[in-house]
Every structure is written in structure tokens, then in C-alpha cells.
Amino acid sequence: DAGVIQSPRHEVTEMGQEVTLRCKPISGHNSLFWYRQTMMRGLELLIYFNNNVPIDDSGMPEDRFSAKMPNASFSTLKIQPSEPRDSAVYFCASLYTGELFFGEGSRLTVL
Amino acid sequence: AQSVTQLDSQVPVFEEAPVELRCNYSSSVSVYLFWYVQYPNQGLQLLLKYLSGSTLVKGINGFEAEFNKSQTSFHLRKPSVHISDTAEYFCAVTFTGQNFVFGPGTRLSVLP
């Protein structure tokens, strides 16, 4: 199994640009999570899906952030417009039998 | 609401020495407890978990943790560390099995 796959691994963009992060969960895992990791705030849950349906998006910082899961094998996290304070590592994880399986993360730098 | 405290942000230890990384949680209901490890430039991976049963839980790479309900703790231990154990370690709790709350992390540095 290839594990949770995230792309891009690194993204450098300028303030105001749209950013789209992508995630492919492990096949058969029905729950998908998006986390953000920064030095200051640690690991924060942004949103999670069960069977492609968003369950809790209370961690999404503001309307500039949106997430979708059109099918069981794909999810996106979009930031529009991006700001320097969005710079962080964004992790996608899928859940199976009580264990979270994390991708390697997408490191976002907004200049 | 649940919260997780990891009192030590950094723990330096010499190779082959024992180590304990502390984790305390706050919750008004029963929880499930986890330790995850993050190596540089990688995602988190599960070391061990406590769901029920024996309070002493053994995980991968020689790590173990003990659940202490009265002290609301779940400390991680290893009797002899290796250079390769250098990483960041996160304690996490959940009572729903889905909404995980992570601690701030402890950076373990194993010195030669």
C-alpha cells in the first residue's frame, strides 16, 4: 500500500494567490482529516470527513479556506487568497481501526 | 473539552540511556490515548495506543507507555534509546475515536 499521498510536497507562492493542496487517502479508509502544523500553534485539526461528508469544519480558520472530498479517493484543501500567516505544513490523514495514517505533508510558504 | 499537556518541550538524552516522555490529559469522559512519532520532514506515525484492557501498552521500536487513570497520565518510556530515536513525539487523546487532540510535542534528542 502506498500510504496517504499528498501533493505538492512543497509550494511557494505569493500573497493573494490561490493554493490547492491535494490528498489521496488509503483505499478503504472512510475518514479523512486535514491538519495544519506550525511552530507556534502545533498540530491543529482543520476539518474532517466521514464517507466524503464534512463532519466538523470548526477548525477552518476563515472563509479563505475550503475543503472538498468529491469521492472516496481524493480531497482538496484550497486557500484563496493566501496570506503569509498561512505558511505551515499541511497534513492529510486517513483513519482506520482507531489509527490515523498521515501523509508526508505539504509545506506551504506564502511570501 | 479535552486537552493534552506535554510538560517537556525538549529532552536530550545520551545513547543507551533510558528515557521517559511525559503526557497528561484532561477529560471528563473516558478517552483513548495515543503516542505518535514524527521524524524530520515526515508525517506522524503511530507508536502505540491505549484503547482498553491492560494499562501497560507496548509499541514499536521498543517503546511502551502506561495509562494511569488516577493521575490522568500516559507517559512514554524506553529503557535504552538509539540515535535513530531522535524525533518529535506527540501524545494524543480522543473520546469519539475521530476528533483527536494532540499535545504540543516533545523533541527527543539522542546524543552520542
Among candidate residues A22, A11, A15, A30, the one with its CA nearest the CA of residue A74: A22
**Whole-number pLDDT of residue A98:** 86
- What are B17's three cell numbers? 540511556
**Whole-number pLDDT of residue B98:** 79
Note whether A99 contacts B97, CB cutoff 8 Å: no
**Whole-number pLDDT of residue A1:** 64
- Please write the tens of the pLDDT for every residue from A13-46: 999 999 999 999 999 999 999 999 999 999 999 9
Q: Write out chain B residues lying below 8 Å of A4, CB-based.
A: 43
**Cα(A19)–Cα(A80) distance, integer angstroms:** 7
Q: Assess whether the previous peptide bond of A84 is cis (omega < 30° from 0).
A: no
B64 CB neighbour count, 10 Å cutoff = 16
**Whole-number pLDDT of residue A67:** 97
Among candidate residues A86, A105, A108, the one with its CA nearest the CA of residue A35: A105
With contact defined as beta carbons under 8 Å apart, do B33 and A94 qualify? no
Note whether A48 contacts B99, CB cutoff 8 Å: yes
User: Could you say which residues of chain B have pLDDT below 50?
Assistant: none
Best mutation site among A100, A104, A106 for testing chain B: the one with the most B CBs within 10 Å? A100
- Please write the tens of the pLDDT for every residue from A73-102: 999 999 999 999 999 999 999 998 888 999
Please name the residue of chain A whose CA is at the shortest distance from the CA of residue B100: A45
First to last CA, chain B: 41
**Whole-number pLDDT of residue B2:** 77
Q: Where are the alpha helices (DSSP H) in A1-111?
A: none
The dihedral of CA A64, A65, A68, A73: what is its sign?
positive
The dihedral of CA B26, A98, A62, B44: what is its sign?
positive
CA distances from A103 to A75, A100, B45, B85 (A): 13, 10, 9, 20
Q: How confident is the model at residue A7 (pLDDT cuts 50, 70, 90)?
A: very high
pLDDT of A12 strictly over 90: yes
Note whether A42 contacts B102, CB cutoff 8 Å: yes
What is B66-95 written as a DSSP string?
Answer: EEETTTTEEEEEESS--GGG-EEEEEEEES
Q: Out of B41, B45, B98, whose CB is closest to A95?
A: B98
